[in-house]
Amino acid sequence: MSDLEAFRSETRAWLEENCPATMRSGVGESLTSGEGDICWGGRKFQFKSEDQKLWLERMGSRGWTVPTWPTEYGGGGLSKDEAKILQEELRRIKAKPALVSFGIWMLGPALLKFGTHEQKLEHLPKIARGEIRWCQGYSEPNAGSDLASLATKAEDKGDHYIVNGQKVWTSYADQADWIFCLVRTNPDDKHNGISFVLFDMESEGVSTKPIQLISGYSPFCETFFDNVTVSKTNLVGEENKGWTIAKYLLTHERTGISDMGMPAPLNSLAVEKLGTIDGELEDKMLRHQIAEHEIDAASFVFTMERAKDEAKAGGDMGAFSSMLKGYGTEINKARHELIVKVNGSDAFEWEGQFSNNGEIARSWLRTKANSIEGGTTEVQLNIIAKRILDLPA
Ligand SMILES: Cc1cc2nc3c(=O)[nH]c(=O)nc-3n(C[C@H](O)[C@H](O)[C@H](O)COP(=O)(O)OP(=O)(O)OC[C@H]3O[C@@H](n4cnc5c(N)ncnc54)[C@H](O)[C@@H]3O)c2cc1C
């Protein structure tokens, strides 16, 4: 038996023994709605069940919430091939993700590349075990697409900064424990005057105010900083060099958003909901649309996997993440249009059993934000034009 085969059978046995039965019913409510039964971890997180908590503890203790991170930073230390096997085995038993978080998805990769050993030791294991939940303090009222115009000011006070300003659209700021935040440390240089700092959301002077989304959920916040003290030990990288870190993190955010375009089992959903005649859906047009969508989605997943493999092998995802984000957004919107079509009028129920308390409508509405969050589609198209197609700016 090869090492990888042995790893697969050990992994399978461990998952059989340790993944609670109630955690084996697939992704459950849509990842895109940002609510539902997803485990986000953190000090304020209310577990939906004892099994959800147990599943996080078990996966976190092995570092399998972040399988490829080094073990000294709380990761699983797995090779790329082993991590792939773990994913396959998780998918095989339809395991729900043990943890989804901005720490795993965005901050972790940036800290692994730019953080000091002490910063990695302090923050990464807590991300891996779901103990600390992070939010992203990038956008400001006048700095979204033109992010480098940000004005939140960090004044140098020797061993610490005093931070003043406002962020907006800070997803889950009111649920988060810590924030990774872009601040201006030099007012005279747009790109080389930005620093990347980390601080506790319970620091004196931090406040948040929720904003409601079209889906009825309210994960968004305005976030205010009023004379917040931030130790310089929480500066990542060099002062005034935060833009490079910010951009690197964005490539991870954009690739992560593109993952939302992963294919759902539309086929089985349609069969279950509408039934078949002679083994086929009666509505030929719908059958055609679902087939077309599944082919597009499968091609997209292969492209995404190739890009991620190349990135893990040392390549730089860079502007390619804009292509994934742009197309992933469209695929995800198309998938939800079809889910609505399959569910007919049930899809527009705001509450009630057929739509799982409005989850179908809420998830469909939530996909509208995919072309805005993490950088708008127009801006991704500009990046593709300039950096990939080499067209004039
Ligand atoms: C669901 C969701 C979650 C979010 N979560 C967070 C978060 O957690 N933290 C955070 O910091 N931010 C977050 N954001 C903010 C998001 O990153 C910004 O909304 C986004 O970058 C766009 O910025 P803006 O809203 O200021 O729009 P603007 O930049 O004002 O853009 C308005 C319009 O102008 C267009 N436009 C702007 N510049 C150009 C250009 N150069 N060429 C062509 N068209 C252009 C845009 O495409 C858009 O259509 C979130 C947004 C959403 C929708």
**DSSP output for 186-239:** -TT-SSTTEEEEEEETTSTTEEEEEE--TTS---EEEEEEEEEEEEGGGEESST
Q: Is the CB of 379 under 6 A from ligand 1?
A: yes
3 state DSSP class of 387: helix
List the residue whose alpha carbon is closest to atom 39 of ligand 1.
Answer: 379
Cα 200 to chain center, whole Å? 20
pLDDT of residue 260: 72
Q: Write down the residue that tokens 């198309």 correspond to.
A: 334
Q: Is the CB of 169 under 6 A from ligand 1?
A: yes
pLDDT of residue 111: 98
List the residue whose alpha carbon is closest to atom 48 of ligand 1.
Answer: 376
Residue type for position 16? E
Residue 220 Cα to ligand 1 midpoint, Å, equals 13
Residue type for position 9? S
In angstroms, rounded to a whole number, what is the distance separating the alpha carbons of residues 387 and 316? 13
Residue 70 phi, psi (nearest 5)? -60, 150
Residue type for position 133? R
Residue 175 Cα to ligand 1 midpoint, Å, equals 22
Per-residue tokens: 291: 């087939």
Are the CB atoms for 39 and 99 separated by under 8 Å? Answer: yes
* DSSP designation for 132: S
Residue 144 Cα to ligand 1 midpoint, Å, equals 5
In angstroms, rounded to a whole number, what is the distance separating the alpha carbons of residues 95 and 20? 9
pLDDT of residue 256: 86
Q: Is the CB of 382 under 6 A from ligand 1?
A: yes
Is residue 351 packed enough to be buried (19+ CB in 10 Å), middle (13-18) or exposed (0-12)? exposed
Residue 140 Cα to ligand 1 midpoint, Å, equals 10
Per-residue tokens: 108: 């972790």
Are the CB atoms for 257 and 328 separated by under 8 Å? Answer: yes
Nearest to 361 by CA among 372, 371, 351: 351
Are the CB atoms for 53 and 45 separated by under 8 Å? Answer: no
Q: Is the CB of 178 under 6 A from ligand 1?
A: no
Q: Is the CB of 380 under 6 A from ligand 1?
A: no
Top mutation candidate among 100, 169, 197, 391 for ligand 1, by most atoms within 8 Å of CB: 169
Residue 322 Cα to ligand 1 midpoint, Å, equals 14
Catalytic residue among 29, 35, 140, 253: 253
Quick one: which atom of ligand 1 is closest to the CA of 147? 21
Which stretch of DSSP H or E encloses residue 326?
helix 320-343
Residue 16 CB neighbours (<10 A): 10
The answer to whether the Cα torsion of 92, 95, 101, 107 is positive or negative is negative
Which stretch of DSSP H or E encloses residue 179?
strand 178-184
Residue 374 Cα to ligand 1 midpoint, Å, equals 7
Cα 359 to chain center, whole Å? 19
Top mutation candidate among 145, 183, 212, 379 for ligand 1, by most atoms within 8 Å of CB: 145
Q: Is the CB of 244 under 6 A from ligand 1?
A: no
Q: Is the CB of 144 under 6 A from ligand 1?
A: yes
In angstroms, rounded to a whole number, what is the distance separating the alpha carbons of residues 336 and 368? 10
Classify strands 134-137 and 220-231 as parallel, antiparallel or unpaired: unpaired
Nearest to 222 by CA among 152, 173, 163, 149: 173
Local mean pLDDT, 10-residue blocks, the chain (393 residues): 93 98 72 68 96 97 97 96 94 93 97 98 98 98 96 98 98 97 98 98 97 85 98 98 97 85 76 88 92 92 85 78 94 93 89 80 90 96 94 82
Quick one: which atom of ligand 1 is closest to the CA of 377? 47
Residue 356 phi, psi (nearest 5)? 55, 55
Residue type for position 153? K
In angstroms, rounded to a whole number, what is the distance separating the alpha carbons of residues 100 and 178? 16
In angstroms, rounded to a whole number, what is the distance separating the alpha carbons of residues 77 and 379? 36
State yes or no: is 253 an active-site residue. Answer: yes
Quick one: which atom of ligand 1 is closest to the CA of 376? 47
Cα 356 to chain center, whole Å? 23
3 state DSSP class of 39: coil
Residue 264 phi, psi (nearest 5)? -95, 160
